[in-house]
Amino acid sequence: MKLSLKSVHLKSISVSMMIVGEALRQFVYQFIIGSGSKPLPWQTGLYYLGYILYLGAFPLAAFLLVEGAKKTSNRLLFLGRLCLAGIVAEILMDIALYGQELASYGTYPQNYFFTLIIGLFIIYLVEVLGNYITVGTFSYNLITLALYVIVTIIVILLQLEQGSLGILVIIALYVCYGNRWFSLVLVSILYLLFLRGIGIFSIIPAFSLCLLWFYQGTEGKKTIVRRWCFYLVYPVVYFMLGLLVRFL
């Protein structure tokens, strides 16, 4: 029987990869590396496994963002839910990890919801631009490229989670929307360029996009609880992880 995935399945996989990946990283870093002990090879491998799982969750999240931007019936509400989730996530994570409601800017990276919010904003901005300038013309392409560069610089300055790589992944998936091969190749190149420190392993996170070959383009059963669950599970789980790290 052919595997068939809906967006609810992709969301579940993305969230699970992020949670498991971060849990592995925090466990190794806090209880082995942080204690001053020299990590054993299997412990180092466990840390990098967590790192790759964590990174691999983002391409799926970015794809779902682009998919939502394309299919949502209420873009303002979609953006509002992301903003609310980002604020709640930032407060909970800063309390749990750093002992304050909002950590000082420049001290810690801001959570990845803000990267998604800016990515969604640039998608909407480019589409509005298409209402005034013919898509595909030199002036349209030039202005669009300038917008991409400006937004990437803003993301770097704001020190958002996933940084410039994250926003470029969102842009790549938006530009290649509907073409799974181009999406996989372009995102793989971006990871290879930005994560050169871990060699050929840097492209592994991009391969989470292989799940798109099983994606049927449908959302699944809609419920308010299920919808908000995916927005809130990220900050709540990080809050719990942060408490464990601080008090164990």
Which of 64, 67, 58 lies closest to 21, judged by CA? 58
Cross-strand pairs, 48: none
Structure tokens of 60? 């799926």
Half-sphere exposure of 196 (CA within 13 A, CB side): 2
**Structure confidence at residue 21 (pLDDT):** 85
Q: Contact, 118 vs 62, CB < 8 A?
A: no
Q: What is the pLDDT of residue 106?
A: 46
Are 235 and 92 in contact by the 8 Å Cβ rule? The answer is: yes
Long-range CB pairs of 161-165, under 8 A, 24+ apart, other chains included:
161/109, 161/110, 161/111, 161/112, 161/114, 161/115, 162/58, 162/112, 162/115, 163/109, 163/115, 164/194, 165/190, 165/191, 165/194, 165/195
pLDDT tens-digit readout, 4-19: 888 888 888 888 888 8
What residues of the chain score a pLDDT lower than 50? 102-107
Residue 104 is predicted with a pLDDT of 46
DSSP secondary structure letter of residue 160: B
pLDDT tens digits along 143-195: 888 888 888 888 777 777 677 888 889 989 998 998 999 999 999 998 888 87
What pTM was estimated for this model as a whole?
0.83
pLDDT at site 223? 63
pLDDT for residue 107 = 46
